[in-house]
Structure 1
């Protein structure tokens, strides 16, 4: 009988062949593997915050500052010691006004720079968004024109809803500093006081109507009764629209809503209890298209943090 050392199928021989095969396979895969992608570095932009702080200090706060005391008082409506007292308190107690370091370890804007910008706005009595309103108000803060309505009707028809010009809904904005005497009319149950924002938006996230200020105890119907969204229609100033559905002509556009709104000709709601395939298709399509307004609220709050944080207006 031959010895096991000469057996081509012995365990040792098999282990050697297996190791050689795996080594060859590993080398082959290593050669054909794509090289690692180089790490992208973030672009560095020199903002010269330190230089800006030093220039501000030299202009108003150093011993031999550029602008004298009477100019400082005229521009900031207060004397310099009071100004510095405000800066010190805010930098100690309010997180936003504290000077912080970025990811690279560099200091951001100083408390003096932040307070100077805020107090200048207060001193000159103009809202922070006044410039935006003056420049872009005519383009974005306006009623829809006849061309706008026709475009909305065309897009609505392509989505399966002839005559739709948008969706209508409301959201609640927490009012942090609500006066105690008003908490009852702005609070629902055990919740915090809120203010209602009712809007009309279209597929492109354009806010065609915004009604802000009703107390949080109101629901969608109560806010609708106070909203001027239909004033142009009542007064005959709304642009005329015409569209056809199943061979019938209609002259009144409509909005998509949820189930809380009344059964008006200008509101198209979903079907809560569908009993047929046709009804299920309509409900699914209506709820899908009405997501435009939910998407608008979802985009508005992350991009403009003031909307998702407690409001302190009138507080």
Structure 2
């Protein structure tokens, strides 16, 4: 038997466990790299995509991570890291900002629809819990008088209940 016959004999063999494991690890690494590139691309066009300043987004992201364990990146049962906090918050904000369904955001963010649904529910609960005292309160009499004077200057007298005239 010459060396060519030996090589062709080895080519027909099934790949070993270590070869298959290396291929799976390479595929995971390539997926993580594509995901990082996607996240960088999302951040480049940040204001156009999310309609908020990047500083506000990073503040919300850090508040989500520090106040809700769901927004920390954890390994699954096979010890592979699951979705990043950035992916989860981006998905939740995208669903709220565009009013789209959960399944339509999964193509962009690369998370399944059920994971986006869960991230959106956790996001809403955490937003209310963290920002309720500061931002989600009833207006004080000083707030109402300030809003009325601002609206009067704009030409909208007495328009305190219309959200269209409050920005």
TM-score band by shorter chain is 0.3 to 0.5
| Higher relative helix content | 2
Query: Max radius of gyration: which structure?
Result: 1
TM-score (norm 2): 0.41
| Higher relative strand content | 1
TM-score (norm 1): 0.23
